[in-house]
Chains A and B, each alone.
Chain A
Amino acid sequence: EPEVTQTPSHQVTQMGQEVILRCVPISNHLYFYWYRQILGQKVEFLVSFYNNEISEKSEIFDDQFSVERPDGSNFTLKIRSTKLEDSAMYFCASRRTGNTEAFFGQGTRLTVV
């Protein structure tokens, strides 16, 4: 069964460093998402991406964040200068068009020290 895959599963980075989180969405899906979950808290929307551009973003998704679909398969989230409060589980999701379900990857646990 097709699934969303995320790499790495865990990343530790120094404060101020740039990180890139990678996702391979399901191949025939057209909408892509990033969400995050700070430990013990709720799942928060960051950004959605469709037709090679951002379709929606939340207040969390400030200038430190960017997304890219560099080729036909990968979807990346870059955090330019990480802060301690960026420590969280980051989830990628994808779905087809229309009124359809979104499937999530297993997440990348980002720890900023």
Chain B
Amino acid sequence: IAGITQAPTSQILAAGRRMTLRCTQDMRHNAMYWYRQDLGLGLRLIHYSNTAGTTGKGEVPDGYSVSRANTDDFPLTLASAVPSQTSVYFCASSESGGASGGELFFGEGSRLTVL
């Protein structure tokens, strides 16, 4: 089934450790996004990429980095995890970004706990 695959689905991590959340899509979508979802808050955009080779900062980019070496993959890295990064992380994609961006397709999420 075509869609977005995230890994891991769940992870407990010690503070200060480096962590990469993986995201792969097979829909050949140009735009990809990383969101975090916290109780009582709306989804918050961390980083995005409108096309392979380009990335941009979202609302809450500090402590996170991304890369977009090809169309399909969009990993999110926490260089040195802190407890405030405990959250559920969703990767999403859309056919295009910006003005022509349509609906988002989401992965199943990665639940990260930083102790």
Asked if A and B bind, the verdict is no
Task: Report which A residues bind B (CB closer than 8 A).
Answer: none
Task: Report which B residues bind A (CB closer than 8 A).
Answer: none
